[in-house]
């Protein structure tokens, strides 16, 4: 893939001259986002099928062979339905909110390396970029609740903002020991630093806290309180319909993919094999296997645990995860200072 892109880059430079840099950027964005959107679309089908089997039912299996065309049918339905806007809503903000939510979820993929060569923008502060861009998604949810002029939607958006801000703190702290061990904010350098040992081994408690925190930050069950249907109908998305409604959940699934990918890069060695003698298998295969395991854990948790109360959610983030992650940062720094390694 990398060789093909390099060949295309050389051909375009010869044919289009000064116009080529802009065209080349557009091509790279399309090459990156097409697989991401495909995975986001079919993750919805995987979720419904896997949870169906866990609950001893079939799940969608009518549209196409084995139900494989169900996501396409859902997308067509969302596109052809009419977008209804409440009479007293702030129309501009109302329509802008889902665009910001999905846009923030997709923009963060610009610096994600799938292999040493397969990356759109290789910057030396890639981790900071991902954390900064992913935190912008909360603005879309806040805007949706405010613009809807609905108490249910507003309460759902406030819940979401509080939840995302709370768990963003503990999630960020769990990544600091990784930075301390790798000595870099570049995602490629973090993966390279795990060539001898994946960071999940010395930092296993941080990995557990990271995963639970990202489940909460992406508003996934059992932490899906912003859209608790028993209390808030559909939370921040109550007044939305058609594709504007679908964009919120495309953003949610894109965020699931993003935080799982970040977990693979920071703790599970990215594209590195578990043992050196398996190095003949392409790195992208290892990357996708690890990503699939983390995504399966997302779905498994949803099918297993009941929803938390909101006070339990806040207590877990601020009174358990935050002090423990701070202690682990102190412990990691102390050990590195005394012995030079963990």
Model confidence pLDDT, tens digit, residues 226-250: 766 656 566 778 888 888 888 888 8
Q: Nearest CA to 213 among 156, 177, 175? A: 175
**By the 8 A CB rule, do 67 and 60 touch?**
yes
* pLDDT on residue 341: 62
Q: How many domains does the chain have?
A: 1
The percentage of the chain sitting over the pLDDT mark of 70, rounded to a whole number, equals: 89
- 45 in any annotated domain: no
Question: For residue range 187-202, what is the model confidence (pLDDT) as tens digits?
Answer: 999 999 998 889 999 9
User: What does the pLDDT average to over 313-334?
Assistant: 92
Domain that holds residue 324: 93-339
Domain assignment of residue 180, yes or no: yes
> Torsion angle of alpha carbons 143, 148, 150, 155, nearest 10°?
-20
Alpha helices by DSSP H, 135-217: 137-147, 151-182, 187-192, 204-217
pLDDT at 70 over 80: yes
Nearest CA to 115 out of 255, 286, 251 is that of 286
Asked if residue 87 belongs to a domain, the reply is no
The verdict on residue 59 lying in a domain is no
Mean pLDDT, residues 38-42 taken together: 88
C-beta separation of 186 from 126 below 8 A: yes
Contacts of 272-277 with CB under 8 Å at 24 or more apart are 272/191, 272/194, 272/195, 272/198, 274/198
The DSSP code sequence of 252-275 is: HHHHHHHHHHHHHHHHS-TT--SS
Tokens 């970040």 locate to 262
Residue 139 placed within a domain: yes
Cα dihedral sign for 44, 49, 55, 61?
Answer: positive
CB 227 within 8 A of CB 239: no
Q: Which residue has the higher pLDDT, 16 or 269?
A: 269
Give the pLDDT of residue 153.
Answer: 84
Tell me if 4 sits within 8 A of 19, measured CB to CB: no
Please give the pLDDT value at position 239: 85
Query: Does residue 38 lie within any of the structural domains?
Result: no
Residue 1, domain member (yes or no): no
Asked whether residue 319 is assigned to any structural domain, the reply reads: yes
pLDDT interval class at 208 (50, 70, 90) = very high
pTM listed for this prediction? 0.88
With 0-12 / 13-18 / 19 or more C-beta atoms within 10 angstroms meaning exposed / middle / buried, residue 202 is middle
The answer to whether the beta carbons of residues 145 and 156 sit under 8 Å apart is yes
pLDDT at 296: 94
CA 229 to centroid of chain Cα atoms: 23
Instruction: Say if residue 59's pLDDT is above 60.
Output: yes
State pLDDT tens for residues 114-148.
Answer: 887 777 777 888 899 999 888 888 888 888 888 98
Taking phi over 0 as left and psi of -120 to 50 as alpha, with beta for the rest, 170 belongs to: alpha
Contact 47, 224 (CB under 8 A): no
**In angstroms, rounded to a whole number, what is the distance separating the alpha carbons of residues 201 and 268?**
9
Q: Rounded distance, CA 171 to CA 26, Å?
A: 32
- Whether the CB-CB separation of 271 and 117 falls below 8 Å is answered with no
Q: Mean pLDDT in the chain?
A: 85
């Amino acid at each position: 893939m990398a060789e093909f892109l390099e060949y295309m880059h050389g051909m375009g430079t010869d044919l289009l001259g000064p116009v080529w840099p802009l065209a080349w950027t557009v091509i790279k964005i399309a090459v990156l986002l097409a697989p991401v959107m495909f995975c986001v679309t079919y993750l919805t089908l995987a979720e419904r099928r896997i949870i169906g089997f866990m609950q001893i039912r079939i799940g969608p299996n009518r549209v196409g062979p084995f139900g494989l065309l169900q996501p396409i049918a859902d997308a067509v339905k969302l596109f052809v339905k009419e977008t209804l806007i409440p009479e007293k809503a702030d129309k501009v903000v109302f329509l802008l909110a889902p665009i910001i939510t999905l846009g923030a979820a997709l923009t963060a993929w610009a610096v994600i390396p799938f292999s040493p060569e397969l990356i759109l923008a290789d910057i030396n502060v890639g981790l900071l970029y991902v954390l900064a861009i992913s935190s912008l998604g909360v603005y879309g949810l806040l805007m949706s609740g405010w613009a809807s002029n609905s108490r249910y939607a507003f309460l759902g958006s406030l819940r979401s903002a509080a939840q995302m801000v709370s768990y963003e703190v503990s999630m960020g702290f769990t990544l600091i020991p990784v930075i301390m061990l790798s000595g870099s904010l570049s995602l490629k350098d973090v993966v390279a630093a795990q060539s001898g040992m994946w960071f999940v081994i010395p930092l296993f408690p941080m990995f557990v806290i990271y995963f639970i925190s990202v489940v909460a930050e992406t508003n996934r069950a059992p932490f899906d309180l912003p859209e608790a249907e028993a209390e808030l109908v559909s939370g921040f998305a109550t007044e939305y319909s058609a594709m504007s409604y679908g964009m919120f959940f495309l953003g949610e699934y894109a965020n699931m993919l993003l935080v799982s990918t970040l977990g693979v890069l920071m703790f599970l060695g990215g594209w590195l094999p578990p043992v050196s003698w398996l190095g003949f298998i392409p790195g992208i295969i290892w990357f996708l296997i690890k990503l699939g395991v983390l995504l399966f854990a997302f779905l498994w948790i949803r099918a297993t645990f009941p929803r938390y109360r909101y006070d339990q959610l806040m207590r877990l983030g601020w009174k358990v995860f935050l002090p423990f992650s701070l202690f682990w940062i102190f412990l990691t720094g102390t050990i590195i200072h005394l012995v030079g390694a963990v």
